[in-house]
Amino acid sequence: MEKTVFSRIIDGEIPSVKLHEDDQCIVILDINPVEKGHALVIAKHPYPTFSDCPAATLSHMMEVAKQVDAMERKILKCDGTNILINNGKASGQEVPHLHIHVIPRYFNDGQSFGFHKQTYQDGEMAELGGKLSF
């Protein structure tokens, strides 16, 4: 299978601005940031999606994302962060190699998600909840 852009970064074949590296992941700056300082926590193993990745690795990556959040709040003085994973092409995932976005956010930064929220019909929510319970 062809290497992802992130595997090429991990292998040093293309440059990146690296903020952190350990045995399981790296943290780099996103090349097209939503806000400057937007970072990506990238699994070293090229799991294509969140769904493919073992829970222990996800747990480690979330701990690292927590450190990135703390760093962005401290250094960039951001007011909050969006921490998100696009999970599969249908969700907007462009690079099929697991990564967590940590995006600095500021009051009045003018950013927003493009989601259109829906409503449930009478009884639909409870019925769906019944099907989805685990």
Catalytic residue positions, numbered = 99
Among 57, 67, 82, 93, binds ligand AMP (CB under 6 A): 93
**83-88 long-range contacts, Cβ below 8 Å, gap at least 24?**
85/50, 87/49, 87/50, 87/51, 88/49, 88/51
Site string for ligand AMP, 11-50 (x = CB under 6 A): -----x-----------x-xxx------------------
Q: How far is CA 111 from the centre of its chain?
A: 17
Taking the least distance from each CB to ligand AMP, the nearer of 21 and 124 is: 21
The site that binds ligand AMP (CB under 6 A) totals a number of residues, namely: 11
**CA R_g for the chain:** 17
Residues in contact with ligand AMP by the rule CB under 6 A = 5, 16, 28, 30-32, 86, 92-95
